[in-house]
Amino acid sequence: MKIFLDSADIDEIRELNKTNFIDGVTTNPSLIAKSGRNILEVIEEICSIISGPVSAEVTATDYETMMLEANRFIKLAKNVSIKVPLTRDGLQTCRTLSEKGVSVNVTLCFSPSQAILAAKAGASFISPFVGRLDDIGQNGLDLIYDIVEIYNNYNFKTEVLVASVRGVHHIVESAKIGANIVTIPAKTFKEMYNHPLTDKGLASFLSDWKKTGQSIL
């Protein structure tokens, strides 16, 4: 499973990229707004740090303007992936860009039927939002199961990029289902390292080692 960082915080991205576990980055208008910086500058800088795909989201809602914005992003770096909403105009944009060999991330997916259309439009990535489905009383992971099963049935090349991840359990369950990628905030990424028994065991080992009076160096 690949791990993308859901962030537009340059310092955060630079720090976590040093782990060598980050395979890509996703951004959205809300994260860009939080950064307080110009979107083109932020995307270009992220692309210089991360070698994998960096999703840059269009903010237009009509096909013509989406294409103009996409072409602006494409000029920034070779590893830009254009992020479009799962709407008729968004999928039309996806089709046009994918036919030109441009990577496209179709976002805001909430149903298997939407995921089918995205794959048929040539999307590189489909981003189903599990946490937001959980918020309204549904099981968001059921959507991941359905999409993975459908894509496997028809050998669709579109990768399932699980978004709106609310905790490590979403990551683990998505991996068990067979999702290709999760995109997660820095806080959740850091939580993947943690388990109380790891801390307890290490403390015990170090305590016993200290009693020996030895040093390896």
Backbone angles phi, psi at 2, to 5 degrees: -90, 150
In three-state secondary structure terms, 41 is helix
**What do you get for the CA distance between the two ends of the chain, in Å?**
37
Q: Which of 83, 120, 157, 187 is catalytic?
A: 83
Interatomic CA distance for residues 169 and 177, integer angstroms: 12
- Length of the chain equals 217
Residue 164: left (phi > 0), alpha (psi -120 to 50), or beta? Answer: left
Helix (H, G, I), strand (E, B) or coil at 183: strand
Catalytic, 83? Answer: yes
Residue 45 in contact with residue 76, Cβ under 8 Å?
no
Residue appearing with tokens 């939080």: 34
**Which residues, including other chains, have CB under 8 Å from residue 77's CB and lie 6 or more apart?**
43, 44, 47, 48, 54
DSSP state at residue 63: H
So which residues are the catalytic ones? Answer: 83
